[in-house]
Structure 1
């Protein structure tokens, strides 16, 4: 893992795999607000995914807003946001035990509520601003196939209810035994399932909608303009210089919204934010699944990993299609070579084959026959960013004036980014007096966090000792 974490990410490569969401591309795909880059700007944001787009919108929504420029290396929203499955799912129980142990009950509760509120607020924003992004809210189900994961889930939900209160919406979970899980959710061979509130949307359409709102407020968006290098201004001048193939730009404030690619521009984050390539597919459902589509979103959880699956809601293009991704640990050497990888122009054949077959395998005889046009509609990859402690890095870079970051969202960008940009906006405007009341302290970037050693994905696997102790008890 040390070797993988030490690989320099470089720039996003050209000609990436085309995600289901990006075909056809949006009208802003190759947008350049001005034909030439400005020589200077008040606030420069690098990255046009959900983080960069929502931050730009928030800044431009302030009274007397500053100039805001967003640079994107490729087309608009061409990174991880436009490549995920669209799951707005806050699985608070998956982290609560570790967070209570490591951070204490108050911070653990704050993290749980933060994710839940972010999930809800993304959909509320889409409704408020009439962003057509296939927004859907309902229930999700985690179908569990491993005894250790089943034991831990039961303990975690008890703790979540104790810490937050049984009536808190963040703590509302329902357990289903194996027979009930197959009858209600059609998944076969499980130990049981857990259902709770979640949602789904087209993250690509959502971000394009946010960018459109920001452009109306004066955003300067420059696509296909990679940031090659950043450096401080010299001779006593404040701010930063960003070098691009189209010229250099002086920025009073610079924000890195570059997630898994961040260490390319700020090498001090090498090994602190580690890229991880994820695989995603769009599949036609089997003939045995409900004709009007599955009623919930899914995760299939086993000993050392999981897949997540989102049915396309009624009224959307290809309604009933299932978006399913994951399969990391099924790759060579348990997927270790996907860490440090920033090449989203290709897929891994072993992982892709597993993901392609996973849903049919989980539903078993309930899947029915494959569609006559074939099971797989499209497959692609995307690059996520993971930190050494499993939390995002938000705030002003330690020891750096006018340099800010919002990155490393652990594959959970749809339930972390939206409210993280609210926090960063308050930090940048020095209006963060009440921030600690709702924003997790453990998400703030600090010198100490930048010294921690990367250990891979956290909260995914149950330690053998935990399983042994639970089984004996």
Structure 2
């Protein structure tokens, strides 16, 4: 079903960034500071959360000056363009982690991801952030029979070997998978605690809290870093070159996600940006649409999957569509072009809810927006 609003009208903005914010183009000072104790490159969740922990830590005395730099608007990169999930991986990649780095490392990663869900919830509640946070369950739905059988066998092995904590994970076999998940043709469903939110709202509001508290914080949007010197000055400070001047800092924190190798070329082969596709789906007949209480991953086979969160207003955020373009690496590999669409994927989400979810056939749910976003693929090994 075609959308009544062309999703290619505004390829620059995601659903999350469509509404402007006073902090978008923030310059704490008209002139760029020439020095700081700590420079953080990147003003997404990683960068702002790092600044929050530095500036609110009781162990940091005297308080250090922090300068956050971003090449574009505040929180306009991966955090402002993703699917809104706060989702741990409690089982899916565990076997791979075990084979790569051992059971102890796999358990450490899994426990960390599980704890992160509640850490985000505690942060949002402690700082009273209005960012549409909802604690719920994630349901991974397997639509291919062979992939479902392989996954169920791997699940049984994890249970038998007791490698990771699985008390929060539930596995629903084919007999009940479609009814429990609400997804047509489900062969297997695996559920566990997760959350979803409006990521850009969370970051903007957390940053606003820091600025209100008059910390030694300076934020400079639209200030690309062009290089960080691999040699220091006479005082042992790093030299950061930007489009607006030079900065000297005692410490430099890179929070640049898929953009890392643009500032750190030595990571070009290890951290590669890859481009994904996401969409916003809504219906004029919400009263006919079953409300989804869970987030989803629809796994079509071992390679292809989509990811979905329901919003409280009844609309849906869906990302994926890799079947349409993954066979063309030039469309997604080693690119940070978020100002254009992946044309092969723009029609993928039309009629999506009607195709895959029970009870959505007569909802007239339509694609309202499609956008791209770059994240990273890391080839760095895990370490114990």
User: Which digits, 9 at most, give the CA deviation of each residue in 1:41-98, with x for residues without a partner?
Assistant: 1100000001000001111113322100000111110000011111111122111111
Equivalent of residue 271 in structure 1, options 269, 272, 286? 269
What is the SS of the residue equivalent to 2:121?
A: helix
**Are residue 201 (structure 1) and residue 197 (structure 2) matched?**
yes
1:399 alignment counterpart: none
Cα distance change on mapping 1:227 and 1:165 into 2, 3 Å: closer
Equivalent of residue 217 in structure 2, options 211, 216, 219? 219
Task: State the 1:289 CA deviation.
Answer: 8.2
Cα distance change on mapping 1:103 and 1:130 into 2, 3 Å: same
TM-score, L = length of structure 1? 0.73
Q: 1:161 touches 1:171 (CA, 8 Å); kept in 2?
A: no
1:230 alignment counterpart: 228
Equivalent of residue 67 in structure 1, options 65, 68, 81? 65
Aligned ranges for residues 230-269 of structure 1 at < 5 Å? 230-233=228-231, 236-269=234-267
**Are residue 353 (structure 1) and residue 344 (structure 2) matched?**
no
Task: State the 1:335 CA deviation.
Answer: 5.1
Cα distance change on mapping 1:59 and 1:235 into 2, 3 Å: closer
**Are residue 343 (structure 1) and residue 341 (structure 2) matched?**
no
Aligned ranges for residues 183-202 of structure 1 at < 5 Å? 183-202=179-198
Name the CA distance, whole Å, in 1 between partners of 2:25 and 2:194. 32
Cα distance change on mapping 1:307 and 1:379 into 2, 3 Å: same
Name the CA distance, whole Å, in 2 between partners of 1:162 and 1:334. 40
Q: 1:284 touches 1:320 (CA, 8 Å); kept in 2?
A: yes
Aligned ranges for residues 437-448 of structure 1 at < 5 Å? 441-442=383-384
TM-score, L = length of structure 2? 0.89
What is the SS of the residue equivalent to 2:138?
A: strand
Q: 1:285 touches 1:375 (CA, 8 Å); kept in 2?
A: yes
Equivalent of residue 327 in structure 1, options 313, 317, 321? 321
Name the CA distance, whole Å, in 2 between partners of 1:29 and 1:111. 34
2:373 alignment counterpart: 382
| Structure 1: segments with no counterpart, 5+ residues | 1-14, 314-318, 392-440, 443-473
Cα distance change on mapping 1:112 and 1:222 into 2, 3 Å: same
Higher helix share: 1
Aligned ranges for residues 29-428 of structure 1 at < 5 Å? 29-62=24-57, 63-64=60-61, 65-162=63-160, 168=165, 170-215=166-211, 216=213, 217-233=215-231, 236-285=234-283, 291=289, 293-303=291-301, 304-313=303-312, 319-331=313-325, 333=327, 337-363=331-357, 366-371=359-364, 375-389=366-380
Cα distance change on mapping 1:96 and 1:148 into 2, 3 Å: farther
Name the CA distance, whole Å, in 2 between partners of 1:116 and 1:356. 33
| Structure 2: segments with no counterpart, 5+ residues | 1-9
Q: 1:160 touches 1:171 (CA, 8 Å); kept in 2?
A: no
What is the SS of the residue equivalent to 2:125?
A: helix
User: Which digits, 9 at most, give the CA deviation of each residue in 1:125-144, with x for residues without a partner?
Assistant: 10111011101011121110
Name the CA distance, whole Å, in 1 between partners of 2:54 and 2:162. 33
Q: 2:64 touches 2:216 (CA, 8 Å); kept in 1?
A: no
Task: State the 1:231 CA deviation.
Answer: 1.2
Name the CA distance, whole Å, in 1 between partners of 2:244 and 2:355. 50
Q: 1:134 touches 1:201 (CA, 8 Å); kept in 2?
A: yes
Name the CA distance, whole Å, in 1 between partners of 2:289 and 2:297. 21
Name the CA distance, whole Å, in 1 between partners of 2:327 and 2:362. 32
Name the CA distance, whole Å, in 1 between partners of 2:158 and 2:134. 25
Name the CA distance, whole Å, in 2 between partners of 1:85 and 1:204. 11
Name the CA distance, whole Å, in 2 between partners of 1:86 and 1:362. 20
Equivalent of residue 27 in structure 1, options 4, 19, 22? 22
Name the CA distance, whole Å, in 2 between partners of 1:305 and 1:354. 13
What is the SS of the residue equivalent to 2:111?
A: helix
Task: State the 1:159 CA deviation.
Answer: 4.0
**Aligned residues between the structures:** 369
Q: 1:71 touches 1:222 (CA, 8 Å); kept in 2?
A: yes
Task: State the 1:287 CA deviation.
Answer: 5.2
Cα distance change on mapping 1:102 and 1:17 into 2, 3 Å: same
Q: 1:86 touches 1:203 (CA, 8 Å); kept in 2?
A: yes
1:396 alignment counterpart: none
